[in-house]
Structure formats: C-alpha cells, structure tokens
Amino acid sequence: MRKFVKILGAAWAAVALIAGAGVSYLYLHKPAMARASDIRIARTPERLARGAYLFNLADCDGCHSQRDFSRFGGPVAEGGRGAGTVFPDAMGLPGLVAPSNITPDPETGIGAWTDGEKIRAIREGVDRDGRALFPMMPYENFRHMSDEDVYSLVAYLDSLPPVKHKVPKTRLKFPVSMLIKGAPQPAGSVPPPDRSDRRQYGKYLVTLAGCMECHTRQLSGGEVFRVAPNILVVSANISPDRATGIGKWNEQDFVDRFHQYRDYVKNGPPAVGPESFTLMPWLNFCRLPAEDLKAIYAFLHTQPAVYKSVDTHPAWSLQTAGLTSAVKTAAP
C-alpha cells in the first residue's frame, strides 16, 4: 500500500518531467529481467514443509485466496486457496488489480509455468510473458528470499489442489502502468539467512511477512485499509514507543498476543461483524513458533520508537458513538 502511494506520487512528478518525448520510450521500455532459470525443483518432504511455512509467513493467502470475512481474520473460504480474486474498488487502487490464480491449474493458474518462471515472478516481479507485475505483489520484499526458500515455496505451490477459476489480468491506469516497469529487478543468488543472529533472522521474517508494508511510517502504522465504503481498519503502532506502541510489552506478552489465536486455527474463527474486521494476518502469524516470534520481537526493538496514538477501528467507534446518541435521544 505504501508502495502504491509512492508510485502514485512519483507518477505525477514523472509525467510532469517526461511529458512528450519520454513517453513513447517508457511505453516500449521493458522491465529489467533475467532469463528464467532451467531449474527443476525436486519435491522433497522437507521442502514441502518449509514451503507451507513460507506460504503462511508471507501470507500468500492474504491476497491470492478467496476469504470469508464474516469470520475473524478472514479465513480462506472452502476451495478458494490460491484461486485468485479481484480487489474491490473501495480500495482505491490505480486500475483493476487482480491477484492471480496461483494454483497448478494449467489453464487458469500457473500449472503450465516452469519452475524458473515461478521463481522469477515471485522474487523478480515479471510474469511469464515478461510483463512487470504491479508491486503490490511484494516481490520487492520477496527478492530477499533465499534460493533454498524460494525452491521450497515453489515445491509447495505445485502441491496445492488445482482450482479452475479464471481471474482477469491486472489492468493499471496510465501512468502507473508505465512507471511500475522500473520495479522488477533480477535477484541473483540469495544466501540463506543467518539464524544464529536473532535480530538478522527477525529482519528476514519481518521482510517476508510484510510487516512494514502495513505498519507503515517506521512501524507507527496509521495506514487506513478500506475494503468497502464503511468497512475499514487502521494499522496499529508497533514501534517500540512505550506510550503508544509496543514498548511496554515484554517478549512473552508479544508471543502470547499471537498465540492466543491458535484456538481459532484449530476450531475455526468465530463469526464477527464489521467492528472486528481486520487485515492483520493473526490466523497466519499465530502459527509461528515462539522462537520466530521472539526473533521478530528482537528486530522490532532495534527500530526507532515513534510516538503516535492510533485508533485501529475508528469508523466503528464513530458509528457506535452515533448509535449511542441515537439511542439516548430516543429514550424517554
């Protein structure tokens, strides 16, 4: 989302600069792109397990799966895993944005792609035909995914049940459509993260999990996510500020805050109304082992404390306030 805002800002500045001559150049310009590798990934049980872990950590479901938001955290709807969707207009995106069908269905999914093409799309941001993907697909983060991790992820994607579901192609408006061509970058070979350095490992997890994309402004949050005219949620301040962030939480508080949702994963999350709508991937992150959450905690605490109070459910507070006064007026 922050990227999208940046791109939009850059878009108008760029249009002012290049007006005329440059435009046709950008139109014809192809994104930076390496040839897709010829690798064929062996599907071992270790890779499938690691791939499932990464799919959950990087919340591929969050965008690519059909979800049931009548329940807390929007669990994946039956049969909708990886099937693709179209983002609603209320999100205010620059055109039609449709997270693709990433199941192995050969016609409507990515079943016909080579492993190398899948790796390139995930880490480098170009599709099979060399088109730049809209960087809301977090390839600028996934670029840091290690070689072995992206192999595991692809092995896991190949094991998803294929779903036949045609999703339209993303169609961005000018000039965003042109400007995103600068986003793809070849990733080269990426070594595995150093797990013995907890903060570094935490940084790796935070990067893949996209914490910074939603908890923008140096983790102080305040980003509004609107999915329907009156359904929204605002990201929390998770910087180490003691008054308004998570500075007072100890490591165990942090782990518990996530693990409290493990029952929801086991038994299915409860039905909720718009007052509890959230895009925070609680149902994913609660599955992370305590060591990983502790590494994330350690990394978050290396970041600057930002003082800012955020109301994560403002529309609801307003609505409730309205409702209460309405009830008061109506009372005898």
Residues 80 and 54: their CA atoms lie apart, in Å, by: 18
From 210, 283, 306, 316, residue interacting with ligand HEC (rule: CB under 6 A): 210
User: Is residue 209 a contact point for ligand HEC (CB under 6 A)?
Assistant: yes
For the beta carbon of residue 290, count every other beta carbon within 10 angstroms: 15
Per-residue contact flags (x/-) with ligand HEC for residues 264 to 303, judged by CB under 6 A: --------------xxxx---x----------x-------
User: Is residue 305 a contact point for ligand HEC (CB under 6 A)?
Assistant: no
Residues 63 and 292: their CA atoms lie apart, in Å, by: 23
State which residue, 85 or 327, has the beta carbon closest to ligand HEC.
85
Min separation Cβ 147 and ligand HEC, Å: 15
Could you tell me the two tokens for 154?
A: 């692809």
Measured in residues, the chain has a length of 332
Report CA-CA distances (Å) from 51 to 43, 101, 118, 318: 10, 18, 14, 42
Q: Would you say 131 and 120 are in contact if contact means Cβ atoms under 8 Å apart?
A: no
Per-residue contact flags (x/-) with ligand HEC for residues 165 to 204, judged by CB under 6 A: -----x----------------------------------
Min separation Cβ 34 and ligand HEC, Å: 16
User: Is residue 134 a contact point for ligand HEC (CB under 6 A)?
Assistant: yes
Residues 284 and 68: their CA atoms lie apart, in Å, by: 15
User: Is residue 62 a contact point for ligand HEC (CB under 6 A)?
Assistant: yes
Min separation Cβ 141 and ligand HEC, Å: 9
Handedness of CA 265, 207, 120, 225 (dihedral sign): positive
From 138, 162, 175, 240, residue interacting with ligand HEC (rule: CB under 6 A): 138
Half-sphere exposure of 31 (CA within 13 A, CB side): 27
Q: Any idea which residue has 């192999």 for tokens?
A: 151
Residues 298 and 289: their CA atoms lie apart, in Å, by: 15
Q: Could you write out the DSSP letters of every residue in 232-259?
A: EEE----SS-TTTSSTT--HHHHHHHHH
Min separation Cβ 197 and ligand HEC, Å: 18
According to DSSP, the β-strands at 171-172 and 95-96 are antiparallel
User: Is residue 127 a contact point for ligand HEC (CB under 6 A)?
Assistant: yes
Min separation Cβ 220 and ligand HEC, Å: 11
Q: Any idea which residue has 């992150």 for tokens?
A: 285
State which residue, 63 or 187, has the beta carbon closest to ligand HEC.
63
Residues 1 and 221: their CA atoms lie apart, in Å, by: 12
Half-sphere exposure of 324 (CA within 13 A, CB side): 6
User: Is residue 83 a contact point for ligand HEC (CB under 6 A)?
Assistant: no
User: Is residue 14 a contact point for ligand HEC (CB under 6 A)?
Assistant: no
From 11, 119, 133, 160, residue interacting with ligand HEC (rule: CB under 6 A): 133
| Chain contacts with ligand HEC (rule: CB under 6 A) | 55, 58-60, 62-64, 97, 99-100, 102, 110, 118, 121-122, 127, 133-134, 136-138, 153, 157, 170, 206, 209-211, 213-215, 225, 233, 235-236, 238, 246, 257, 278-281, 285, 296, 312
